Amino acid sequence: MNTTEIQALKGKQRIVMLTAYDYQIARILDRVNIDMILVGDSLGMVFQGNPDTKQVTMDAMVYHTHAVARGAKNTIIVADMPIHSYDTPDQALANAKQLCEAGAHAVKIEGHQPEVIKILLKEDIPVMGHVGLLPQYAEKFRVQGKTPEQADQIWRDALAMDKLGVFAMVLECIPEWLARKITHDVKSPTIGIGAGKYCDGQVLVITELLGMTSNDHLPKFVKQYSSLNIIIGEAVTEFMEEVREGKYPTKKHTYH
């Protein structure tokens, strides 16, 4: 599947995207035929332990994109352009090319950046847009578009990016009615995260979906489909007990 085929899914099939930051998770997502993998700058929080995404560098994004590309041979890989990597169109083009060389098939940019989008599309680099909550610029993570003025601006930005030719766009943390209106009004598929059920697809952060994050820090829109935080802890605890009691390794796990 390519980005043109993703566009063709609008109105026909819900699109599924998840984040991945390493070879192992990417390999699993590739095996189950997920539609798209996002190498998100969310790695700054869930992989590096920072309070936000503002510390993520181009070097980090290139490194993780390489790792994901080694694991996902058949899935579309979208790489986030980190903060300050697209401050100018020329800078954006140089950095986007790095991510594509690392294995990305498209890049994602936060906010309406018309000149940046134009130059990337001119060089045949597919762009995914992103409106609503913009983590690279937000002082606090909160729902956007709750006032008429905010909602109108988000809607206008989405329409403008759609007109420029983004192949899809993320709608993050906006009211469901606004996401529904944008999804109806744009040709590009919309991928929601905290934007309700009327988007053309959904994306979540993989560690949150798998239950590797404390429940105390989960956004309202996250559903945990597993409890790896508990499962991994139990496995490690059992290993420690067997080592300390001399039960591991056994003959089965020893070379002779």
Please tell me which residue in 5, 110, 139, 172 is annotated as part of the active site: 172
Calpha distance 128→200 (Å, rounded): 14
Of 113, 62, 56, 64, whose CA–CA distance to 86 is shortest? 113
Q: How confident is the model at residue 214 (pLDDT cuts 50, 70, 90)?
A: confident
Predicted local confidence at residue 78, as pLDDT: 98
* Together in a domain, 92 and 137: yes
Predicted local confidence at residue 222, as pLDDT: 95
Of all residues in the chain, what percent carry a pLDDT higher than 70? 99
117 has pLDDT over 90: yes
Which SS3 state, helix, strand or coil, does residue 187 take? coil
* Together in a domain, 164 and 246: no
* Together in a domain, 60 and 157: yes
Contact 72, 37 (CB under 8 A): yes
* Together in a domain, 128 and 140: yes
Predicted local confidence at residue 145, as pLDDT: 97
Annotation says 234 is catalytic: no
Q: How confident is the model at residue 218 (pLDDT cuts 50, 70, 90)?
A: confident
* Together in a domain, 63 and 79: yes
Over residues 220-246, mean pLDDT = 96
Q: How confident is the model at residue 64 (pLDDT cuts 50, 70, 90)?
A: very high
* Together in a domain, 234 and 128: no
What the block records as the tokens of 245 is 């009691």
Give the domain range for residue 248: 228-256
Of 176, 136, 181, 133, whose CA–CA distance to 159 is shortest? 181
6 has pLDDT over 90: yes
DSSP letters, 102-150, are HT-SEEE--S--HHHHHHHHHTT--EEEEEES-TTT-SS------SHHH
Q: How many separate domains does the chain show?
A: 2
* Together in a domain, 79 and 115: yes
pTM of structure: 0.96
* Together in a domain, 211 and 250: no
* Together in a domain, 86 and 161: yes
Of 169, 90, 104, whose CA–CA distance to 132 is shortest? 169
* Together in a domain, 112 and 205: yes
Over residues 123-136, mean pLDDT = 98
Residue 57 CB-density burial (10 A; 0-12 exposed, 13-18 middle, 19+ buried): middle
Handedness of CA 222, 130, 106, 89 (dihedral sign): negative
Torsion of CA 73, 11, 166, 101, to 10 degrees: 0
* Together in a domain, 32 and 156: yes
Mean pLDDT rounded to a whole number for the chain: 96
* Together in a domain, 149 and 245: no
Distances (CA, A) of 146 to 28, 99, 129, 177, 200: 37, 34, 20, 10, 21
Contact 151, 107 (CB under 8 A): no
CATH number at residue 106: 3.20.20.60
